[in-house]
Amino acid sequence: MGRGWTRIALSMAIFVAGCATYPVNPSLKQYNPAQGYRYENLTTTDPNKNSEETFIILTFSGGGTRAAALSYGVLEHLHKAPIAEGRKTLLDEVDVISSVSGGSFTAAYYGLFGEEKFFRDYKEGVLHRRIEHELLLRVLAPWNWPWLLSPYFGRSDLADEYYDRYIFEGRTYAQMPTKRPFIIINATDMSLGAQFSFIQDHFDRLCSDLSQVHVSRAVVASSAFPVAFTPITLNNYPKTTCGYTAPRWVASGLQDFAKVPSRYDRAKTWVSYEDAERRPYIHLNDGGLADNIGLRGPEVAITTSDSSWSLLNKVNNGVVKRLAVIIVDAKPQEATTLDDSARPPGVRSVLEAAATNPMENYSSDTIELLRDRLSEWDKAASNFTHRRENVTSRCDDFAAQLCRGSPAFAHCGQERRNECYTRFRETANDQPPHPNLYEIHVRLEATKDPALRAKLEQIPTTLQLPPEDVELLIRAAATLLDQSEEYQRLRRDLDNSSPRS
């Protein structure tokens, strides 16, 4: 009798395992740039609250609950920063949030539920929740084993069910508010090591409809740290099914193999999704593998017109007058314990080092790249001002040199001076577009008190932290923002520009 029941249970387990599959991302009926979750389709309910004139981008790094709490602290502090004579706050002016991994919990929750619920429920409902413990219980629960035995259902799918039910309340992208900030949850395309974002522009490439995808799916993909979590699978549908055509920059970019390899690579990545026969499924894991601070997408939008939400176009059109990028970086202290022993590190340590160290090196490069680009912008503007202010004296010198010794010195000098003015005088049309730029880097390493810094940097990367650590991180975010000279400059400039900002 006992063996009979065992057989029945085993058969049922095998049956369930055979049926269990990941939630399939639906296909898109018709490609339509005027629909779907894209920056350009978002409206602002009150333009006085969030103008593009002041454009604020936040990027949230990975780092488990440490990153989620630090980014929460930044949002809370911006919420307490009044501008425009107290009629709005800096948080009202945030236009884009780009996040990876742990930071994606905060970005998605804030974007989905809005200010009121976020500040009421997020701390208790997410930051204080023992997510890791609860996920482990689900993995260990025997009734989940048949599902986990399925090759089409992994630990990440189990985590997705949990996040969907207990954090994101079953909401899909169709329920994401159609107003700014634009929330960009980033994952990594495992085959290419390229960033894959949960925005309709990226889902168009799969002929898939993001509006029917659960927000929890984006967060679980963004935080699917290798080995601990399984990759998330997306179906890639043939392009004939939705009539999709790639944006024109892609064809241009494919010509830049020799001149601009980074652009060529972006274009090549983009077209790789077009062949659904060759790549019928896309596997995603932690967004931090491609970019652990969520800055690569914004960097492309700021410095090129290749992004669907290109800021360069907005700057050229004179729409953006102030551009602030606030990078929230929960990078921990370097783990040097491996170097304490002559014994070669074990498999787990090697995997962890391979997955995290390149991410951190890449982060510094990304920040420096952005900084270089922004300084080029400043330099161009100051060169222009310098030239315009000096054109009179330069043309006087030029005329004096050319006409030296001429019998009709005065006449010659006047003629040459006029020629010079005509050639070199710069008009309003020559003025280069130039918004005021602010780069604000919130990072634990910048904590001034050495004891507090050590304490913050030793907070582990995990999906559950003691409430006192969460509070410490939230307070640290406020202090780090306040001590940033760039942040203070932004606030001063906005105070001076009110009430128009």
Partner 1 sequence: MEWVKVNYAETRDVFIDGQQSGKTNKKLIVGEGTHDFDLGVPKNYSPSTQTKTVTGTTEEFPMPIDFEKVA
- State the residues that interact with partner 1 by CB under 8 A: 247-249, 252-253, 255-256, 259-260, 263, 303-306, 310, 312-313, 315-317, 373, 376-377, 380-381, 383-384, 387, 429-433
Minimum CB separation from partner 1 for residue 40, in Å? 10
Q: Which is nearer to partner 1, 271 or 381 (CB)?
A: 381
From the CB of residue 391, how many other CB atoms can be counted at a distance below 10 Å?
A: 16
* 123-63-42 Cα angle (round to 5): 65
Three-class SS of residue 33? Answer: coil
Q: Which is nearer to partner 1, 314 or 441 (CB)?
A: 314
Minimum CB separation from partner 1 for residue 269, in Å? 15
Residue 128 near residue 167 (C-beta atoms within 8 A) = no
Q: Which is nearer to partner 1, 259 or 348 (CB)?
A: 259
Q: Which is nearer to partner 1, 318 or 499 (CB)?
A: 318
Minimum CB separation from partner 1 for residue 212, in Å? 28
Find tokens 């896309």 and name the residue: 282
Minimum CB separation from partner 1 for residue 325, in Å? 16
* CA torsion through residues 243, 251, 25, 61, sign: negative
Q: Which is nearer to partner 1, 152 or 384 (CB)?
A: 384
Minimum CB separation from partner 1 for residue 199, in Å? 16
Q: Which is nearer to partner 1, 89 or 310 (CB)?
A: 310
Three-class SS of residue 60? Answer: strand
Residue 487 near residue 446 (C-beta atoms within 8 A) = no
Q: How far apart are CA 92 and CA 130, in angstroms?
A: 31
Minimum CB separation from partner 1 for residue 383, in Å? 6
Q: How far apart are CA 358 and CA 288, in angstroms?
A: 10
Secondary structure (DSSP) of 312-374: HHHHHTT--SEEEEEEEE-------GGGG-SSPP-HHHHHHHHHHHHHHHHHHHHHHHHHHHH
Q: Which is nearer to partner 1, 341 or 429 (CB)?
A: 429
Q: How far apart are CA 377 and CA 38, in angstroms?
A: 27
Minimum CB separation from partner 1 for residue 249, in Å? 4
Three-class SS of residue 443? Answer: strand
